[in-house]
Amino acid sequence: MRPPKDIKLLSGTSSRPLMLEIAQHLKVEPTEHLVSRFKDGEIRVQILENIRGHDVFIVQSTHPPADNLLELLLLIDAAKRASAKRVTAVIPYFGYGRQDRKDQPRVPISAKLVSNLIEVAGANRVLTVDLHADQIQGFFDIPVDNLFATPIFKEFFKGLSPETHTVVAPDVGASKRARAVARKLGDLPLAIIDKRRPAPNQAEVLNIIGHVEGRHLIIVDDIIDTGNTIIEGAKALIEAGALSVVAAAAHALLSGNAPQKIEDSPIKKVIVTDTIPTVWERKTDKMEILSIAPLLAEAIRRIHNEESISALFI
């Protein structure tokens, strides 16, 4: 089989700034395409140049509103019907990833349904960042590259000492991710918060496992949504004698008054990436936003050249 022709880069509305940044890193011109609305609000997309036989990458995070997901599906369909050789859905933030199991009666497995939609639309592969649960990869029957934001955080946190700093998992589910980050930041010790959710979007700290007194702490999570997980965690950690608490997460949903709550909390700093574009409108003085574009651009380059991307998992 002939290899695909050059890279063609497209995006939905919300991830356009990120796509343009990725294009700069790759030194490619974004593909001309239209994502607009009919008078009634229905989404209308059109690819305005020939992509026949090309390697097409469509960048779009699928955070709410659902139009973001729909734009992605329609762009995939348009690319497939325009005879692209290969279509990769580049999903910096995979929305609905938290609904990944049937944990209550009569609930959907939303992450599985979204995976099905992306595959049925015609994606040949998926490139994403910090999936809420690794096993979501298995919801797809196409290759899924799940990058971690760790290389970006590693650069920011370099030079920390195990003598003074500890990484904290904000709940038991986050301990695998936090342990990996702790190792990569120079074998820092790990502590774990035993968290309970009395209701959706609420967080309650029950216990802290590990030594936090007199230490500088870094809470590592995948998502900051209402901010309750990191805020309640930080309060409990400071009460337990921590010297300072910063938080790092790949995805900053920052719903409702999360930015103000974080500002008013004992958290010293919050480090996030720009996988969700609204982060720029919600930024406060305590927040540092790191660009995910270089990591995604390098992964796209390697996928296009059929090179291994395992070197990116540093």
Is residue 227 part of the contact set for ligand R5P (CB under 6 A)?
Answer: yes
Stretch touching ligand R5P by CB under 6 A, among 6-14, 149-157, 227-235, 239-247 = 227-235
Contact pattern from residue 195 through residue 214 relative to ligand R5P, giving x for each residue in contact according to CB under 6 A and a dash for the rest: ------x-x-----------
How many other β-carbons are positioned within 10 Å of the β-carbon of residue 106? 5
Per-residue DSSP letter, 170: S
Is residue 175 part of the contact set for ligand R5P (CB under 6 A)?
Answer: no
Q: Is 195 a known active-site residue?
A: yes
- Least distance CB 79 / ligand R5P (angstroms): 31
- β partners of residue 43: 37
Is residue 170 part of the contact set for ligand R5P (CB under 6 A)?
Answer: yes
Tell me which residues in 63-102 interact with ligand R5P (CB under 6 A): 98
Assess contact for 85 and 4: CB atoms under 8 A: yes
Stretch touching ligand R5P by CB under 6 A, among 204-212, 216-224, 283-291, 305-313 = 216-224
Q: Which of 311, 290, 215 is nearest to 18 (CA)?
A: 290
Q: Which of 58, 4, 13 is nearest to 31 (CA)?
A: 58
Q: Identify which of residues 84 and 224 has a Cβ nearer to ligand R5P in the complex.
A: 224
100/84 Cα distance (integer angstroms): 31
Amino acid occupying residue 43: I
Amino acid occupying residue 11: S
How many other β-carbons are positioned within 10 Å of the β-carbon of residue 279? 19
Q: Identify which of residues 26 and 224 has a Cβ nearer to ligand R5P in the complex.
A: 224
Q: Active-site residue among 195, 235, 268, 283?
A: 195
The total number of residues written for the chain in this structure: 314
Stretch touching ligand R5P by CB under 6 A, among 65-73, 106-114, 217-225, 235-243 = 217-225
∠262-168-126 over CA atoms, to 5°? Answer: 85
Q: Which residues of this protein are in contact with ligand R5P, per CB under 6 A? A: 98, 170, 173-174, 201, 203, 221-229
Active site positions, annotated = 195
